[in-house]
Amino acid sequence: MTTTEFGIVYAVHIITSHFGSVASKVCECLLRRGPLSSREISRLAESDINHSKVKDILYLLIQHNCVQAFSIEPPDGSESKAIVQYIALFSNILHRARYNKFSSKVVNEELGSQCSGVLDGLLSNGRLTLEQLIDRDRDSKKQMGSEAIRDSLQKLVAARFVERVPSPEPVLGNKDEGPAQKKRGAKPSKIFKEPESLEERILEAATPVDAIRFPFIFEQGSSSTVADDDSNISEGKRKQPEVDYTSGPSNEVIWRPNFEELIRRLRHKACVEIVKERRDEGCANVMKAMLEVGRSQEKKAKTDKSVRTPIFFSVPMSMGSIYEELIKTDAGREMTQERVEACLEQLSATSSYLPAFVIESDGSYIVDFKSIISVAQKDEMESVVMRRYGKEAFRMFRYLSQEDRFVETDKIADAALTEKKDTPQILLKMWKDGYLHMQKLAVTGVYIPFLLWKVNKLIVSRQMLDEMYHASLNLSLRLTHETDSEKELLLLPMEKLEGALKERRNKYRAKSVLLTSARFKLDDAIMLFHDF
């Protein structure tokens, strides 16, 4: 999905909050205009920023994984040099607003507080070597010790929450590789998503093979694994970068958070939650086991880059492997095989109310992520329609979603049991805000054309996503406003406050908690539409 207007505004706000307004101008230039060279940014950015400053900011944003450099191979026979361009990584910028989720909800739960402490270091600094992590730990109040840091980093890499940094300046071929030309080696499975956009091509070219990206061997010493020189990073062509920011001072591996895996775990957690809400605890336990089985099977299969992380479906798995995984947990041990089979049957069932969450085929089971996520997306859409436009609009919206085709106004009124004279106004309101698609149908002999209405899920999703970015920005701005309004009060120590001042301080705290937690939950909804 291309970035929406408020997506850009929100991303720029995040960069401003974290790196200041000059950095945000560079970022905004890239987000609005697409990939540019540093000279072009210097020329085009609002309030001309000199070239040297632009380069500094670009290095800062690259350090923090918000920008990726690349170049395109000049045409054959051309004498021109490939120009380095920069592309803003919109998703990574948005991830900055959810770093605490990666730490607390994913890594802390799975690997413990030491690992989440190491991840926090990588998240706040963008990318670090092991040595830098150890140095950082020495300066902190609660020291973990170098052994614990090394051990935690190894666990994080093994779990793929941390990866080696990608190639600093991958070179893309200038020929457009169509699907017919892409078949090198094993044909990618149809259940995996093919890279399409320029950003995806760039990231694909920059990402090393798994064996290098998540090195298995992890020895002590400064050259802990194969160093980050160009020959090891990518299969594609490389050129000497202008500044070598791939390796640390002693040629160590540079590590950074692997957002792909962190988001994947959040998606899995969301799927388990959705199954728990819509089915029951038993089905949720079975789903959790299936996701775990899927992850270990994918890990074994992933020896090269051509096997990408599945987006829409899991790998197929047997009932036996699901049950074996399930009984590793306390809750799973209470479930008999019959109960598990019943849950799988429930998860595979389709009704007009819920789609199937699992596909059963010849005794194998596949998790249908798209189906599970679509249920939560539908809930979000319908909740907004209900709150913003009312019960009648809600019925109309649900009717049109079911029909999934153009329907005439009167038919909608009949189905939704609403007043025929009021129905057009309700539909027009939703249409004006982008929640419905409308077409006029002129019929011979009828003076007023018929109006036909439809819910176009892609258009509504995009509209909602834009509004959610807008809302997230609003929550952040409101929190800043509340904090600014009480900045003098906040300077006073809490224990010295009494009476009205204490009450005001408590009220500020309650507002702050409400705004922060609302933004936290809204971000879950944003991930449903953008990341999952």
Partner 1 sequence: MSTRRRPAAPRSSSSGMTENEKKILGFIRSKQGMGATKYEITAGTSIQQALVTKATTSLKKSKLIKEVSNKGGKHFLAVEFEPCKELQGGDWYVDGALDVSMIEDLKEICVNILERLKQKVVTLEVICSCFQKASRDEYKLSRDQTKVILDNLVLDNVIMEVKSNGSSEHSALRIGEVCYKLIGKKSGGGEARDGAFASIPCGACPHIGLCTPDGAISPTTCVYYQKWLDF
C-beta separation of 63 from 17 below 8 A:
no
Residues 5-24 that bind partner 1 (CB under 8 A): 9
Using rule CB under 8 A, residue 386 touches partner 1: yes
> Nearest approach, Cβ of 204 to partner 1 (angstroms)?
32
The whole-angstrom distance between residue 365's C-alpha and the CA centroid of its chain comes to: 26
Cα separation values, 423 from 296, 392, 414, Å: 53, 9, 10
Q: Is 244 helix (H, G, I), strand (E, B) or coil?
A: coil
Residues 25-44 that bind partner 1 (CB under 8 A): none
> Nearest approach, Cβ of 29 to partner 1 (angstroms)?
19
Using rule CB under 8 A, residue 433 touches partner 1: yes
Which of 278, 411, 437, 505 binds partner 1 (CB under 8 A)? It is: 278
Which of 90, 259, 323, 394 binds partner 1 (CB under 8 A)? It is: 394
Using rule CB under 8 A, residue 445 touches partner 1: yes
Which of 89, 153, 376, 407 binds partner 1 (CB under 8 A)? It is: 376
The residue range among 154-162, 194-202, 330-338, 350-358 that interacts with partner 1, by the rule CB under 8 A, is 350-358
112: tokens are 């413990």
Q: Closer to partner 1 at the Cβ: 141 or 421? A: 421
Using rule CB under 8 A, residue 471 touches partner 1: yes
Q: Closer to partner 1 at the Cβ: 48 or 414? A: 414
235 φ, ψ (degrees, to nearest 5): -80, -20
The residue range among 36-44, 48-56, 236-244, 344-352 that interacts with partner 1, by the rule CB under 8 A, is 344-352
d(C-alpha 216, C-alpha 376), whole Å: 37
Using rule CB under 8 A, residue 55 touches partner 1: no
Strand order in the sheet with 407-408: 407-408, 450-454, 437-441
> Nearest approach, Cβ of 200 to partner 1 (angstroms)?
27
> Nearest approach, Cβ of 174 to partner 1 (angstroms)?
41
Residues 199-218 that bind partner 1 (CB under 8 A): none
Using rule CB under 8 A, residue 360 touches partner 1: no
The residue range among 17-25, 119-127, 306-314, 386-394 that interacts with partner 1, by the rule CB under 8 A, is 386-394
Which of 48, 177, 229, 277 binds partner 1 (CB under 8 A)? It is: 277
Strands (DSSP E) contained in 165-228 are 171-172
3: tokens are 């970035």
Using rule CB under 8 A, residue 452 touches partner 1: no
Three-state secondary structure string covering 15-44: HHHHHCHHHHHHHHHHHHHCCECHHHHHHH
Q: Closer to partner 1 at the Cβ: 96 or 378? A: 378
Which of 115, 395, 430, 451 binds partner 1 (CB under 8 A)? It is: 395
C-beta separation of 465 from 384 below 8 A:
no
Using rule CB under 8 A, residue 454 touches partner 1: no
> Nearest approach, Cβ of 404 to partner 1 (angstroms)?
15
Using rule CB under 8 A, residue 398 touches partner 1: yes
474: tokens are 């609003």
Using rule CB under 8 A, residue 336 touches partner 1: no
Number of helices and strands in the chain (H, E)? 25, 12
Cα dihedral value 179, 185, 190, 191, nearest 10: -130
Using rule CB under 8 A, residue 403 touches partner 1: no
171 φ, ψ (degrees, to nearest 5): -110, 125
Residues 6+ positions from 473 with CB-CB distance below 8 Å? 6, 9, 10, 13
End-to-end CA distance of the chain: 12
d(C-alpha 55, C-alpha 49), whole Å: 10
Count CB atoms within 10 A of the CB of residue 147: 10
Using rule CB under 8 A, residue 194 touches partner 1: no
The residue range among 98-106, 260-268, 301-309, 372-380 that interacts with partner 1, by the rule CB under 8 A, is 372-380
Half-sphere exposure of 412 (CA within 13 A, CB side): 33
Using rule CB under 8 A, residue 382 touches partner 1: yes
d(C-alpha 342, C-alpha 339), whole Å: 5
Number of residues that bind partner 1 (CB under 8 A): 59
Residues 6+ positions from 370 with CB-CB distance below 8 Å? 312, 313
Residues of the shown chain interacting with partner 1 in the complex, contacts defined by CB under 8 A? 9, 274, 277-279, 345, 349, 351-354, 376, 379-384, 386-388, 391, 394-395, 398-399, 410, 414-421, 433, 445, 464, 467-468, 470-471, 473-475, 477-478, 481-482, 507, 510-511, 514-515, 518, 521-522, 524-525
